[in-house]
Amino acid sequence: MVVSLLVLLPASLWADQVTLNNGDRLTGSISKSDGKTLVIKTDYAGEVTVKFDAIQSITSASDLHVEMGGKTAVGPVTTSGDKLVVATKSAGPVEAPKSAMTTMRSPAEQAAYEKALHPGWSEGWTGGVNLGFAVTRGNSATKNLNIAFTAERKGFKDKLGLYTNSIYATNDVSTASPHTTANAIGGGARYDRDVSPRLFIFVNADFFHDQLQSLDLRSILGGGLGFHAIKSDTTTLDLLAGANYTHESYSSFTIPPDTFVAAISRSLAGATLGDEFMHKVGKNTVITQDLYFYPDLTNTGEYRGTFKFGTVTKINKWLGWQNSFGDIYVSAPPAGKKKNDLLLSTGLNFSFTH
């Protein structure tokens, strides 16, 4: 008999209910709230997001994880006037003003949040692949290929970033000299760890090869301190300062008609000064800018600098259009080589999330 009565009870008695100030009532399963909005999953309208100050009352049939006044309480939630009441199993009812509530999560959302704080090394990655290709035939015969890859994994207090990029171009006309007109490859990684809301430490490793500058490999290992000057969902600006160890090797080459330049291999200590900027323009476009300055502490007066500027505009969730510009400056290149290398590319961007 009791079982039959329970079956006949309205389903809404077993669901969460949110009543709005205008009298509307939403029935379903409360997912989460950040104190500004509340998300409830309904059977008839899917996920519904409402402003928290438009809510008159809340009644949850299941446990919710609630942070209020610096404390966390777990249990069914009800409201009484301007009070939020959590019926905990261990401490009984816990009350606080509605305005003191900072987060409210269902068990599933809480589990996802806790996992996000400590993701596995294969989890939490976002990034993209940039691809551009051009070919000409007829009066000219050229090929150009540029590929870039970026990936970033953010934890609660740390961040790991990986990147690589390459530009390769040839002039296939038989009388052309040189045949290869561009062959530059770069890549690296940086790990950041927050020590306070604004201050972080970082370590980095960067590698670069440029055939036309006769640079076989430049390796840069460094680290230092960083400062989150701006940190929001739409704009970030990090300022960095530290030190680095650089080793670079240049192959021998001949300057026409017959001047021979010997191979060079050198190691040096340097300082690292830089900034990294990101800004979201509307919903679909992201602008990035990186600027680094490396004064040579071994040979004072010499220095290197790198500048990168890029945009990605989304076409859909996984496809976008990218543009990038880079400038690599070396104050003391080998004899006969230019100080600046400018890299400009455009093409498709394929984004991913894991």
Residue 66 in contact with residue 104, Cβ under 8 Å?
yes
Residues 346 and 317 in one domain: yes
Domain end call among 78, 98, 117:
117
Residues 201 and 151 in one domain: yes
Domain end call among 98, 117, 136:
117
Residues 31 and 170 in one domain: no
The span from the CA of 126 to the CA of 151, in Å, is 6
- DSSP symbol at 258: T
Residue 204 in contact with residue 192, Cβ under 8 Å?
no
Residues 177 and 292 in one domain: yes
The tally of domains found in the chain comes to: 2
Residues 109 and 133 in one domain: no
If 0-12 CB within 10 Å is exposed, 13-18 middle and 19+ buried, where does residue 147 land? middle
For 9, 37, 143, 149, 324, the CA distances from 349, given in Å and listed in that order, are 54, 33, 20, 9, 11
The CATH number of residue 130's host domain is 2.40.160.40
- Provide the residue range defining the domain that includes 29: 2-117
Residues 198 and 330 in one domain: yes
Residues 57 and 99 in one domain: yes
Domain end call among 117, 137, 162:
117
Residues 256 and 347 in one domain: yes
Residues 84 and 189 in one domain: no
Entry pTM: 0.71
Q: From the first residue on, what is the mean pLDDT of each consecutive set of 10 residues in the chain (354 residues)?
A: 41 75 92 93 90 92 89 91 90 89 93 78 86 84 91 88 93 77 93 95 96 93 97 94 96 86 92 96 94 94 94 94 93 88 90 84
Q: How far apart are the first and last CA of the chain?
A: 51
The span from the CA of 261 to the CA of 250, in Å, is 10
Residues 113 and 220 in one domain: no
Residues 70 and 168 in one domain: no
Residues 306 and 264 in one domain: yes
